[in-house]
Amino acid sequence: MLQLRVQLDPHSGFCFGVVYAIQMAEDLLAERGYLYCLGDIVHNDAEVARLTALGLRVIDHATLATLRDEPVLIRAHGEPPATYRLALENNLTLIDASCPVVLKLQNRIKTSYDKRERLYLYGKRGHAEVLGLLGQTNDEAVVFESLDELLTLDLPDSLTLYSQTTKSTDSFYAIVRELEARGKQVQVNDTICRQVSNRDEELREFAARFAVVVFVSGTKSSNGKVLFEVCRRINPRTHFISAPSELRPEWFGATETVGICGATSTPTWLMEQVRDALELL
């Protein structure tokens, strides 16, 4: 049996936007026994399964179009205007748990669109938040996932740059520097959530303190992918898992220190399960 010294990262776990959405869902489930949710409430299968057991019914946009006279939760990622128009047509009661940071970004990008600015959005194509942002621009903003991709485009001399809230701050400003170095006039809108970006520095410090790091996240989480790479750059012995069952004893020496951390979409209870499983190895 290994004698690991295990510590949880006190800064990991749900961001305030996800906490707000889940608390709202739990309250409504306790009150009425079921609740429709448009898309996964958080990009973590274990947490979605927990809430599904309480009565949460996860639906897609096609199913939403068939509902009438029902309450539907809008998750923290936000939704495009078309969703709100459909709700009015179908007499749906939307319980809007959109993250305030995302709502602010939606308003800003809509203002830029109304001014007819040339809009470029650094984000994951097809991500729920990105789809909501695109909806503010009549799907006219250009989405790109990397600097290399952006530089393949025929860019205007002047452009307005936005970012999905969970992207890397370092990567965003590297894009800004490269565009300016190429003589482009860039109207920069740093719309990255600081609760996410501040975790970059916190995780660098955390990952450096341990022999091994176990990073817990759902595979669908964009934030999880970013923060995992932050840890792995500092500590190459960082392992990505989504459940305690994915732990491997061969990752650890007999008496090593192990740090457990996670994404803004990772529930604390899941990291605690990982800790408990490590202590039994």
Report d(CA 281, CA 278) in Å as an integer: 5
181-215 in b/e form (b: 16+ CB < 10 A) is eeeeebeebebbbebbbebbebbeebbeebebbbb
Please say if 129 is a catalytic residue: yes
**Active-site residue (options: 129, 140, 145, 202):** 129
Give the closest residue to 105 by CA, choosing from 136, 81, 82, 127: 136
Can you name the residues that pair with 122 across neighbouring β-strands?
A: 144, 163
Query: 35-40 long-range contacts, Cβ below 8 Å, gap at least 24?
Result: 35/71, 35/73, 35/95, 36/64, 36/67, 36/70, 36/71, 36/72, 36/73, 37/72, 37/73, 37/75, 38/64, 38/72, 38/73, 38/74, 38/75, 38/79, 38/83, 39/75, 39/77, 39/128, 40/75, 40/220
Q: Which residues are catalytic?
A: 129
